[in-house]
């Protein structure tokens, strides 16, 4: 494949492997098709994950999901349930799953560099008996994502160490970046009231409106 920015591209796995080498046998051996007992805490203690999906044409999306730690429930060693909370209704992940069930998940625990990765096949469910234990603030989700696991393994902390992700001295204040309202104004023109949008959103979030 020729890219518009360069001709120095890699187009097959043979070329890739000649550059980066092969994984060690121990690395390959850590991949399993189920959640083992030592893996469970990486799900049970995680308040945040990233869910990767794609449609039938390969168009990809990565969506964050967050809730109190343990919000993803382990139903058995081959199945987890992710509750679907109210969002912006674009439903990118959900629509992708309807077209292509294959998903990838990374579970993150604050302050911890190691993560747990899962690949599997997702199904959308409205089963009230399955969803009831996922209630927060007395509100059970109306929809959930069941994931049948194909592969599970822990991922090392190099990315977090390189980025100093958990280093408080590297944390940035939100006001150092454009606000959501300012970004919308750049799309819709100066007539868009960015300050009002940001103020109203902050008020909704402070009152947790639309969280559950």
Q: How much is the pLDDT for 73?
A: 98
Q: Is residue 91 part of a domain?
A: yes
Are residues 176 and 106 both part of a single domain? no
Would you tell me how many other CB atoms lie within 10 Å of the CB of residue 46? 24
Its domain, for residue 70, covers 27-163
For residues 19 and 80, what is the distance between their CA atoms, to the nearest angstrom? Answer: 37
The answer to whether residue 9 is domain-embedded is: no
d(CA 47, CA 72): 8
Q: Are residues 156 and 189 in the same domain?
A: no
Query: Has residue 80 been placed in a domain?
Result: yes
Strand order in the sheet with 48-54: 60-66, 48-54, 102-108, 115-125, 143-155, 79-84, 73-76
Does residue 186 sit in the same domain as residue 103? no
Beta strands 73-76; 79-84: pairing state: antiparallel
**Is residue 17 domain-resident?**
no
Residues 119 and 183 both lie in one domain: no
Which domain CATH number covers 65? Answer: 2.30.110.10
125 within some domain: yes
- Total number of domains constituting the chain: 2
Shared-domain flag, residues 158 and 200: no
Write the pLDDT tens digit of every residue in 32-86. Answer: 999 999 999 999 999 999 999 999 999 999 999 999 999 999 999 999 999 999 9
Q: Which two tokens stand for residue 66?
A: 């967050």
Do both 134 and 188 map to the same domain?
no
Q: Do 35 and 102 lie in a common domain?
A: yes
190 and 148 assigned to the same domain: no
The whole-angstrom separation of Cα 73 and Cα 46 is: 11
The average pLDDT across 106-134 equals: 98
Look at residue 191 and tell me if it is in a domain. Answer: yes
Q: State whether 119 and 142 are in the same domain.
A: yes
Specify if 2 maps to a domain. no
At residue 2, the pLDDT reads: 77
Q: What is the mean pLDDT of residues 7-24?
A: 96
Residues 183 and 130 in one domain: no
Predicted pLDDT of residue 77:
98
pLDDT of 190 above 80: yes
Helices 194-206, 180-188: inter-axial angle, 10-degree rounding? 140
121 forms beta bridges with: 102, 148
Q: Are residues 154 and 71 in the same domain?
A: yes
Query: Which whole number is the average pLDDT over 141-167?
Result: 97
pLDDT at 182: 98
Whether 178 and 146 map to the same domain: the answer is: no
Share of the chain above pLDDT 90, in %: 99
Q: Is position 47 within any domain?
A: yes
């Amino acid at each position: 494949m020729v890219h518009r920015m360069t001709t120095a591209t890699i187009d097959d796995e043979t070329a890739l492997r000649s550059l980066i080498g092969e994984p060690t046998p121990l690395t390959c051996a850590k991949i399993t098709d189920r959640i083992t007992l030592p893996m469970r805490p990486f799900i049970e203690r995680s308040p945040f994950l990233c869910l990767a999906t794609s449609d039938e044409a390969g168009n990809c999306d990565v969506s964050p999901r967050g809730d109190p730690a343990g919000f993803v429930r382990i139903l058995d060693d081959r199945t987890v349930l992710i509750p679907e909370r109210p969002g912006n209704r674009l439903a990118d992940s959900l629509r992708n799953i309807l077209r292509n069930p294959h998903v990838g998940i990374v579970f993150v625990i604050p302050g911890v560099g190691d993560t747990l990765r899962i690949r599997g096949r997702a199904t959308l469910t409205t089963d009230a008996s399955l969803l009831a234990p996922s209630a927060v603030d007395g509100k059970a989700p109306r929809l959930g994502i069941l994931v049948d696991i194909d592969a599970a393994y822990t991922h090392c902390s190099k990315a977090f160490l390189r980025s100093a992700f958990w280093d408080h001295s590297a944390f940035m204040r939100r006001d150092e970046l454009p606000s959501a309202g300012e970004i919308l104004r750049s799309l819709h023109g100066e007539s868009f009231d960015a300050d009002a949008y940001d103020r109203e959103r902050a008020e909704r979030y402070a009152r947790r409106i639309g969280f559950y």
